[in-house]
């Protein structure tokens, strides 16, 4: 026998004296799916199906300042989000951070350790330190610049050698 799944609608305001969907305080939950995107209205916010800790399925909207793309990322990765009752129903306030974000240490060093590290840019990628820079542009153009060195690679440059010395 197939089980049916229903979403408890929590977008309407509770009547006076009626209990709110979650109750007072902040509640952990998981975003299960996007219910509506609201493309027909430019001011419409997306709605999400969420599952708080008690296992119910509720419809939630985003609180002001919460990025829809961020919550979609939380949904894909199964991150815990923070839920609360709001005047219009249940609101997603953000996500529960469970790991440190990359940040410089006390000496100003930012270390990223990974098997593979990929940086993507839509226009250009630049790395700079005092006296040197590396700029990568669309189409394969690369510019390496230092105090006494400028290399512009806009076309084919191949060097096959274990050691290269130029006078």
**How far from 130 is each of 51, 109, 127, 133, CA to CA, in Å?**
50, 15, 10, 8
Put the strands of the sheet holding 125-129 in their side by side order: 125-129, 132-136, 142-146, 149-153
Q: Which residues of the chain have pLDDT under 50?
A: 1-15, 17, 42
pLDDT at position 19: 57
Q: Can you say how many angstroms the Cα of residue 29 is from the centroid of all Cα atoms in its chain?
A: 17
Neighbouring residues of 101: CB distance < 8 A, sequence distance ≥ 6: none
Which of 134, 129, 47 shows the shortest CA–CA distance to 91? 47
d(C-alpha 27, C-alpha 14), whole Å: 18
pLDDT at position 43: 54
Q: What is the pTM of this model?
A: 0.56
pLDDT at position 20: 75
pLDDT at position 15: 47
pLDDT at position 167: 75
pLDDT at position 158: 75
């Amino acid at each position: 026998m197939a089980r049916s799944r229903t979403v408890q609608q929590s977008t309407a305001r509770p009547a006076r004296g009626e209990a709110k969907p979650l109750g007072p305080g902040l509640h952990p939950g998981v975003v299960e799916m996007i219910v509506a995107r609201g493309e027909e209205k430019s001011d419409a916010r997306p709605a999400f199906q969420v599952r708080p800790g008690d296992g119910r399925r509720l419809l939630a909207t985003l609180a002001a300042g919460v990025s829809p793309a961020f919550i979609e990322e939380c949904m894909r990765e199964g991150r815990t989000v923070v839920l609360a009752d709001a005047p219009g129903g249940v609101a997603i306030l953000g996500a529960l951070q469970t790991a440190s974000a990359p940040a410089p240490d006390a000496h100003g060093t930012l270390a990223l350790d990974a098997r593979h590290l990929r940086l993507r840019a839509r226009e250009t990628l630049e790395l700079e330190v005092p006296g040197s820079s590396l700029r990568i542009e669309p189409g394969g153009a690369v510019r390496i610049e230092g105090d006494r060195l400028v290399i512009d690679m806009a076309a084919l440059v191949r060097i096959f050698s274990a050691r290269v010395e130029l006078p």
